[in-house]
Amino acid sequence: MVAQPEIPATADRAQTPVLGLWQQIKEDWIAHGRDWTKPGFRAVAVQRFGVWRMQVEPKLLRAPLSILYRSLYRKIRNTYGIDLPYTVKLGRRVIVEHQGAIVIHGYCTIGDDCIIRQGVTLGNRYLDRPLEAPKLGARVNVGAGAKILGGVSLGDGANIGANAVVLSDVPAGQTAVGIPAKLLQPKNNHENA
């Protein structure tokens, strides 16, 4: 049996450039319409800062940054109602469209170019599985008031209707609506012929 050569960890990084903190924040600012006063932009910027400060070594130098992060995080959560912890794996150009009652589980994964609106919950479903959290692909559009619960995966380009309760996976490019959410079936053009 021939051993497969190991692919260096840096091979993935060649395709996706790693952005610094200020580059990420600038990209998020542009995605939010170049308006630094938007609560969604502020929440995303604080989350990016929280991730960045964890790279600072030694811990003694990180301590004042952690105090600053915690105070900013609480300010965003309590003022705007956007709970977006630094432990979330947040993709590029994620837009938090509005403020109010947005709760995102700390172990969520949110892909690039997603849109999240007011009243959205991305959380766990079962008390005995507290670390299960939703995984959103790229370009997922989450409607106002939607609840996405448990270890579900939403494929690239999925759309979640307003107030939908998603309890199972949604394939790429599909739309889920209702309580519990069901996939919309495209209308068959042959029915009208």
Domain ranges of the chain: 20-183
Query: What burial letters (b/e) apply to 94-113, b meaning 16+ CB within 10 Å?
Result: bbbbbbeebebbbbbbbbbb
Angle between helices 39-53 and 21-31 (to 10 degrees): 160
Q: Under DSSP, is residue 102 helix (H, G, I), strand (E, B) or coil?
A: strand
* CA–CA distance, 153 with 90 (Å, rounded to integer): 15
Is residue 183 within 8 A of residue 176, CB to CB? The reply is: yes
Adjacent-strand bridge partners of 124? none
- Determine whether domain 20-183 maps to CATH 2.160.10.10: yes
- On whether the CB atoms of residues 179 and 164 are closer than 8 A, the answer is yes
Report the predicted TM-score, pTM, of the whole model to 2 decimal places: 0.86
Per-residue CA distances from 174 to 57, 170, 187 (Å) = 44, 7, 13
Per-residue pLDDT of the chain (193 residues; tens, 9 = 90+): 434 334 344 444 345 568 899 999 999 999 999 999 999 999 999 999 999 999 999 999 999 999 999 999 999 999 999 999 999 999 999 999 999 999 999 999 999 999 999 999 999 999 999 999 999 999 999 999 999 999 999 999 999 999 999 999 999 999 999 999 999 987 765 555 4
DSSP, collapsed to helix, strand or coil, labels residue 135 as strand
